[in-house]
Amino acid sequence: MVRFSDAGLRYPDPSGGEGDETLKHLSFTLPRGSFTWLTGASGAGKTTLLRLMQCALRPTSGEVEILGVRLSQAKREALPPLRRRIGAVFQDYRLLPYLSAFDNVALPLRLAGRSEASLRPDVAELLRWVGLENRADSLPPQLSGGEQQRVAIARAVVARPELLVADEPTGNLDPRQARRLLALLTEMNRLGTTVVVATHSEELVAAFPAPVMTLERGRLVAFGHPDEAPDADPAASAWNNAPEQGPTGTWDDGPEPTGTAWDNRPSPATTTWDDAPDPAAVAWDDAPGTSPGPASRGGAAASPHGTPDRRPPGAPPDTPPYGMRGRRDG
């Protein structure tokens, strides 16, 4: 669950004093397993709101509760385990430039203790799904902006987080790739992940109807389903009692995701969420100076190229990759 209670945030001004309020008196609840669009003009506060949900910031007023943890009261050492339960897609990608596409996607699983043998198929399948199976060994500087964005998306979802926040994840994608991404996010939502997606795309919101939060100058001005009349008081609206379900609708050129083996595959005993390093900290500040590279994956057998298709038997070509493991249920 994500709960904001009269939450606000001020960034400090250059002189060290208090700056203007970036977010003001936000009160809302996102039920567990919900899917929510976040909209608003540039500068409305969408990225700052997502940073609070990622536990990258603490509110300067009010309270923010993320997955049962109150940020204003949480000790510093409690935040890394919480962040490991959250996946994030950033506007600026934040890929490690000295790691290949494969190794960037594999990083959260390696930090969580997954063995190379168990993580390789999951990473390869996600790279196939985002159309980068032939760029697995490329470094980020060798990839286009859209390709880097797809790597960032794959990295965010590979560990099947409990909460996924995405800041303009389709901004550099063509329409077909955008539709494939949304099919993947909605399937994750169907399996229980709470998803929040910031977007300027009215087409995506219309194609995948789901509750919409609208920010304006740091305030929540609307919170409801697109086909409902706006509520005068978002904090007291029916959103707080919204059913725990994701968006509806299908795309013209892709099948609607169906249940698969992703639901039933056991989580490996080697995955230890509470004791693993913090990906949010390690990935940017403390990551190893060299990439493990294809050779460290065990030669030809470890290469992501030629990995058997891990979709269910008879699944159509656009079926999302449901074989990923490692998420803690409950």
Q: Express each pLDDT in 225-275 by its tens digit.
A: 876 644 444 443 334 444 444 454 433 333 333 333 344 333 333 333 333
Flag whether 307 is in a domain: no
pLDDT of amino acid 179: 86
Helix (H) or strand (E) holding 180: helix 175-190
Strands 35-40, 18-30: pairing is: unpaired
Give me the CATH number covering residue 203: 3.40.50.300
**Cα 103 → chain centroid:** 18
DSSP one-letter code for 262: G
Flag whether 130 is in a domain: yes
Domain limits for position 99: 2-8+22-302
pLDDT of amino acid 320: 67
Query: What is the value of pTM for the model shown?
Result: 0.71
Helix (H) or strand (E) holding 289: none
Flag whether 312 is in a domain: no
pLDDT of amino acid 181: 86
Tell me the mean pLDDT in the region 156-179.
90
Contacts of residue 238, defined as CB under 8 A and 6 or more positions apart, other chains included, come to 224, 231
Going by C-alpha positions, the residue among 208, 87, 213 that lies closest to residue 152 is 87
- Cα first-last separation, the chain: 12
Flag whether 110 is in a domain: yes
Distance CA 161, CA 315 (A): 24
Asked if residues 318 and 180 have their Cβ atoms less than 8 Å apart, the reply is yes
Structural domain count, the chain: 1
Give me the phi and psi of 63, to 5 degrees please. Answer: -140, 145
Q: What residues form DSSP beta bridges with 5?
A: 63
Tokens of 175: 């329409």
pLDDT, one tens digit per residue, over 66-110 is: 999 999 999 999 999 999 899 999 988 999 999 999 999 999 999
Edge-first strand order for the sheet with 212-216 is 86-89, 163-167, 194-198, 35-40, 212-216, 219-224
Residue that is written with structure tokens 């999302």 in the block: 320
Flag whether 321 is in a domain: no
Distance CA 23, CA 10 (A): 7
Flag whether 15 is in a domain: no
Classify 163 as helix, strand or coil: strand
User: Residue 46 carries which side chain, given as an amino acid letter?
Assistant: K
Strands 35-40, 194-198: pairing is: parallel
DSSP one-letter code for 8: E
Report the alpha-carbon angle 237-200-36, nearest 5: 35
Check pLDDT > 80 for residue 54: yes
Q: What residues form DSSP beta bridges with 197?
A: 37, 166
Distance CA 323, CA 64 (A): 33
Check pLDDT > 80 for residue 173: yes
Tokens of 156: 């965010």
Going by C-alpha positions, the residue among 36, 37, 67, 34 that lies closest to residue 244 is 34
Tell me the mean pLDDT in the region 197-224.
93
What DSSP letter does each residue of 44-97 carry, written as one string? SSHHHHHHHHTTSS--SEEEEEETTEETTT--GGGHHHHHTTEEEE-TT----T
Asked if residues 155 and 108 have their Cβ atoms less than 8 Å apart, the reply is yes
Flag whether 323 is in a domain: no
Q: Residue 40: count other Cβ atoms within 10 Å of its Cβ.
A: 22
- Torsion from C-alpha of 93, 25, 233, 209, nearest 10 degrees: 10
Tell me the mean pLDDT in the region 34-63.
95
Flag whether 221 is in a domain: yes
Asked if residues 160 and 188 have their Cβ atoms less than 8 Å apart, the reply is yes
